[in-house]
Amino acid sequence: MKWQNKGHEFDEIGNIFKQNKDLLLLGDIDKALKMKECLSFLNADISIPTKDAMDSLEIDVLGKTILIFGDYPNIEEFLISKNLIRDINYFVIYNFYSKYFYNYESNFIMKYLSIFALYAYDKVYISSNNIITTTVCNLNCKSCLNFNPFIKNKRHNEFERLKNDIDLYFKNVDMVGLMHITGGEPSLYPDIIKLLMYINKNYRHKIIDLVMPTNGIREISDELLESINSANMTIQVDNYLEAVPEFEKIYIKNLEKIEKYDIKADIIPAGEFWNWAQAYPPRYDYSKLDNDEMIKRYDYCGSMFSEIRNGTISGCCYHSFAETAGIVDYDEDSLFDLKGNVNKKELIEFRLKYCKKGYTEFCKICNGLNPLNRKVVKPAEQTKGILSWDGNFIEKDYIPVDILKIPDFSVKITVITPTYNRADFLPKTIESILNQTYTNFEYYILDDGSTDNTKEVVKPYLKDNRVKYLYHENSGEPETVNWGWSLAKGEYFTQINSDDIVDKTLFEEMIKVLDNDDNAVVAYCDYNIINDKNKIIESIKSPDWNFLEALSNFSCYAAMVGTFIKRRKFVNWTNIRTDKYSYINDIEMYWNMALYGNFIHIPKNLVSWRKHKGQISVNRPDSIYEITDWFKEYFYKSNIPNEVFNLKDTVANRVVIYAESLLTLYNFPKTIKDKIKRYLKKELGLIKFTCLQIGDNDLIGNKFNGHNLGIYLRENKIESNHIVNDKKSDDEHTYVYNHASNYVYNHDYNNITENLIKNSLLLDSDILHLHLIHNTNFDIKYLPIITRLKPAVITLHDAYYLGGHCVHHFDCNKWHEHCHDCEYLDKPFAIKKDDTAFQFEIRKKFIQDSNLSVIVASKWMEDKVKESPIWKGKKIYRVPFGIDQNIFKPRNIIEAKKELKIDENSIVLMFRAENNIFKCLPLIKEALNKIKSKNKITLITVVKKGLLEEFKNNFNILEYGWIEDDSMLAKLYQACDIFLMPSKQEAFGMMAIEAMSCGKMVLALEGTALTDVINAPECGIVCKENEYADKLQYFINNLDEAKRRGELSLKFAEENYNKNLYVNRIIDVYNNVIKEHKVDIEYQPILEQLNKYYNTINVNDESDDDKKVKKDFTFGIYISNDEKYFIIGILGIKITIKKKKVEK
């Protein structure tokens, strides 16, 4: 335990805010608004619910840190009844109400904490000096244990009142970190002395640090100092000399008295407004101070900041600044003891005017502190070497043993052996323990309901009074081990399993190392692997301990049989091993211990781990869920070192890898493993949300069909999976439609779209993104229901869904109103009979009925969508595609030509060769027949080969066909002088932006999206068809002009078509669509039923042989590859490893 400053724990709360910047302020709205203003420097997302939201309790708490101000009806009931406590990161309670300090029967903090201590004690932080809040806080709430009985003026019989409070407090706690007795008025000394004598006699053994503050401007009585000395406590003296020099004599006299009694003391620079105001005599009339004087006094108040930066923050500074910032209700009688006629109104206005800055600065500094790396400064000069500063912080990783009243351990070592039906191996284990050279230990053999002759095997060993045999009904190894921990009385603890053997010197070696190293908390050794015949199979040499490396690999190699744990190093053992898990208590324990001390490696093979059949627990996969809970708690501990917190994502990825290997070990099918991996990534914060891309293929058109987009999204912590008709890649995130799915549900059917709705990939996704679905068997009649169940967008890559048939409409305008009597039945996609009016109406009806947003890549396409009655009223997002400009980038053209074995003086033209009516290869051929040049002309083509046979004698022709390697494609662009793209219909032009990104000018036709895409006429050039050959001839004759335009094209591409810009725009679209999507009440039962009965994978990840997957309507059973799996419950889809061949 590391105790920090002795005043408030706001520096700890500040660190919470620093790491959890989604804050929710609840309670008194006026005060919350003031606090929001003061916390503006955090750059956090700070939200305050409206009064209506508070009254109706419609508050979103997921992932938020809640800071609560005062009482508000039903908040705690709301959070518990809705099971929202698990969604909260932290729950911070700040008591700003002086009137609650003593009326603890109605104290709202008591009410909140009494509930949260039961449900979420590890998320609660307290900031209050109230005795009762601190009491409840000690139910393991994450706050400094700061007990602060406040001796108040104008009260009678203070001792009796506080005596009752103290009895109540210590009845509920075992250990107090800091007891801070407040009240420095000489008139209160008699009550303080009585209180100190009572505490010292009855409870001093429970208190680590007892502090008595005094303001240093009144003489401290000898009687009080004697009481302080007898209670072995620290006195805190506020130094006002800089502010009030006339008190120097009293101050020095007090220091001399303290030195005489040899009392531990802290000298605190008096920088708080409360104390500062008390220090000034009444003759100061604040209302008459000029601005310069007020600023001077404010500057003094802020002088403590230099101390804070050195790590020596002192006193309740935060509370004082909070008061002066105007966020606290003023209880003038309790907070101030000003004599005379001081104008309080002027004083408060003065504070509000000059101290908000101080409060904000203070918060910044607190948030910037690293609690584990504070410094202890040397004694201040004015102390003249008399006193030290050590009392201001206890700068140790854990509390020194000599301060605590550590129990006298009756035995040195506790050994446990959990066992279940290991009667054959157990004797070897027991004998290896009883034959130890070190003999001061207790030994528990814990029988987890064995049904063999374990009891008879153990009976002879019970003659040794160190051995105890305990039996309970079968509960599993984790429960049995937890039982053993609860029994332990030894200073050291070790677990030896019932099939393992230890060397006779194990205990002696471990004790020797641990006793001689005060910083060590764990010792572990090397081990042998033996078989069931006790023969050594392998000797394992463990590495020396490296905490950060071990955590990064999620591999605690110290967690092995025979490891010794020094229990006495942990004051609050329940914070180290909480026993709240069923399977991973050891994982939690070892990683917690690693934060407190060193692990020592003993490079000797002192234990033997037996490898035999039946070792692996069938329930081990259930630990995956618990690991996610542990992870989310561990990395958001308030005192986690920065170097550990920075490993969060690394460890999360290792946890996913560990889970995958565990599921593989238990023969889980790939589809189920993928589902669990998606769950883990989301829970561990590796992904923000999940997207499902749905399209026709992956690698053909990968830059625009969702494949590359998925890669970019995953780089930005967004999980993206892709379902396609035709899978060419080996990408693990790409799946194939399962054409062979056959459900047993009253009748057989084979409907790809319905199967898609019922599969896990879709049901687990947060948003759907459709691409080129007209190239698949996707049935748009399902769009209305799909888009009401899930947020969805579609990228329109062409005009197919704007009309009733054509991919592009050429000069036809019928689609503006309603398609009919189509003139282009032979155009893609060709049809024999005209049903365009029917298809138009189908598309219009189901698209209009859907909740679908549109993404287009160009203004040209955006204008067409706006003109279409099919898409009337739909939200349109224009997002130009982006590419990886680390691949598509400029290069010296001579070097590029040389690599392709092209003469450097040759003029290189590049284009797409394809017999496609839209891409207009005939126009290029026509231009090639007309152009002339003194230089040799080289033609580079992609996509199709053999389409330029008639030109092979006139040009140097390099045909590359379809290229999947982007690096190779970029080399072709880099070697060309001009890129030709005379498409008659083009909704964007991916090859155009690739060429531009390589610094090449594009020559295109007008009337398509390319005009805007290539930024004609500033960068690229567009023209009419009959002008194309002339324009090409012009640039062949003026290559410098083509080069200049290429440079402008590059700049334009870098500003508009880089992948980071593209993916950020897409993410913005996703976030908007997700935010705006609501599942209507009539669709909730549909979604719930689909998740309940169909949330398993129904897409086949292997398309080669079209394997059949059969799923019964009855939940929990499905058949794959003639093997039956039974889903019994893990992460919502629990599965055992039981399987059997299906009877033919």
Neighbours of 96 (CB within 10 A): 19
Strands 907-913, 978-981: pairing is parallel
Calculate what percentage of the chain has a pLDDT beyond 70: 63
Q: Residue 7 and residue 250: Cα distance in Å, rounded? A: 25
Using CA atoms, how far residue 249 sits from 68, 245, 503, in Å, is: 45, 9, 70
- pLDDT, greater one: 61 or 147: 61
Q: Residue 852 and residue 766: Cα distance in Å, rounded? A: 14
Which H/E stretch holds residue 795? strand 792-795
Please say if the pLDDT value at position 387 is more than 80. no
Query: How does residue 572 score in pLDDT terms, banded at 50, 70 and 90?
Result: low
Q: What is the reported pLDDT for 161?
A: 64
- Look at the block and give the residue holding tokens 């579609």: 794
- For Cα atoms 613, 619, 623, give the angle at the middle one, nearest 5 degrees: 125
The answer to whether 620 touches 666, Cβ cutoff 8 Å, is yes
Which H/E stretch holds residue 345? helix 344-368
The tokens for 65 are 């840190």
The backbone torsions φ and ψ at residue 378, rounded to the nearest 5 degrees and listed phi first, read -70, 160
One-letter amino acid for residue 1133 of the chain: I
Residue 448 burial by CB count (10 A; 0-12/13-18/19+): exposed, middle or buried? Answer: buried
Strands 734-736, 719-724: pairing is parallel
> What string of DSSP letters covers 871-912?
GTT--EEE----B-TTTS----HHHHHHHTT--TTSEEEEEE
At residue 19, the 3 state secondary structure works out as helix
Neighbours of 492 (CB within 10 A): 23
Please say if the pLDDT value at position 892 is more than 90. yes
Neighbours of 203 (CB within 10 A): 18
The answer to whether 330 touches 323, Cβ cutoff 8 Å, is yes
Q: What is the reported pLDDT for 633?
A: 87
Q: What is the reported pLDDT for 232?
A: 72
Please say if the pLDDT value at position 81 is more than 60. no
Using CA atoms, how far residue 341 sits from 152, 347, 351, in Å, is: 22, 12, 18
Gap between the terminal Cα atoms of the chain: 64
Nearest CA-CA partner of 733 in 239, 1099, 363: 1099
Rounded mean pLDDT, 264-286:
39
The backbone torsions φ and ψ at residue 475, rounded to the nearest 5 degrees and listed phi first, read -130, -5
Least confident stretch, 38-42, 56-60, 1105-1109: 1105-1109
Q: Residue 843 and residue 825: Cα distance in Å, rounded? A: 18
Q: What is the reported pLDDT for 872?
A: 96
The string over 1014-1041, giving b where at least 16 C-beta atoms fall within 10 Å of a residue's C-beta and e elsewhere, is bbbeebbbbbebeebbebbeebbeebee
> What string of DSSP letters covers 907-943?
EEEEEEE---TTT-HHHHHHHHHH---SS-EEEEEEE
Q: Residue 53 and residue 365: Cα distance in Å, rounded? A: 34
The tokens for 92 are 């911070």
pLDDT digits (tens, 9 = 90+) for 894-922: 999 999 999 999 999 999 999 887 788 99
Q: What is the reported pLDDT for 392?
A: 24
pLDDT digits (tens, 9 = 90+) for 662-703: 888 878 888 788 888 888 998 898 999 999 999 999 988 899
pLDDT digits (tens, 9 = 90+) for 444-473: 999 999 999 999 999 999 999 899 999 888
- Look at the block and give the residue holding tokens 């890898």: 657
pLDDT digits (tens, 9 = 90+) for 533-542: 889 999 999 9
pLDDT digits (tens, 9 = 90+) for 599-638: 999 999 999 988 876 554 545 677 888 899 899 889 887 6
Rounded mean pLDDT, 214-239:
71
Using CA atoms, how far residue 483 sits from 384, 416, 566, 571, 939, in Å, is: 56, 10, 18, 20, 79
What is this structure's pTM? 0.57
Query: How does residue 208 score in pLDDT terms, banded at 50, 70 and 90?
Result: low
Residue 572 burial by CB count (10 A; 0-12/13-18/19+): exposed, middle or buried? Answer: middle
Spatial strand order of the sheet with 937-943 comes to 956-959, 937-943, 907-913, 978-981, 1001-1005, 1021-1023
Q: What is the reported pLDDT for 672?
A: 82
Helices (runs of H) and strands (runs of E) counted in the chain: 41, 36
- pLDDT, greater one: 1055 or 77: 1055
Q: Residue 568 and residue 216: Cα distance in Å, rounded? A: 40
- For Cα atoms 439, 445, 448, give the angle at the middle one, nearest 5 degrees: 165
Rounded mean pLDDT, 879-893:
97
Query: How does residue 741 score in pLDDT terms, banded at 50, 70 and 90?
Result: very low
The answer to whether 765 touches 692, Cβ cutoff 8 Å, is yes
Q: Residue 143 and residue 12: Cα distance in Å, rounded? A: 8
**Sequence-ordered list of residues with C-beta below 8 angstroms from that of 963, at least 6 positions apart, any chain:** 942, 969, 972
Among 231-240, 715-724, 752-761, the range of highest mean pLDDT:
715-724
Nearest CA-CA partner of 79 in 21, 12, 26, 28: 26
Q: What is the reported pLDDT for 33?
A: 76
Please say if the pLDDT value at position 1025 is more than 50. yes
pLDDT digits (tens, 9 = 90+) for 312-365: 222 223 333 333 333 333 333 333 333 333 334 444 443 334 333 433 433 343
Q: Percent helix, strand, coil in the chain (nearest 5)?
A: 40, 15, 40
Neighbours of 604 (CB within 10 A): 14
Q: What is the reported pLDDT for 43?
A: 66
Mean of the per-residue pLDDT values for the chain?
73
Nearest CA-CA partner of 933 in 1042, 1017, 1026: 1042
Radius of gyration over every alpha carbon of the chain, rounded to an integer in angstroms: 38
pLDDT digits (tens, 9 = 90+) for 766-810: 999 999 999 888 999 999 999 999 999 999 999 999 999 888 887
Strands 1001-1005, 978-981: pairing is parallel
Query: How does residue 263 score in pLDDT terms, banded at 50, 70 and 90?
Result: confident
Please say if the pLDDT value at position 1137 is more than 70. no
The answer to whether 496 touches 433, Cβ cutoff 8 Å, is yes
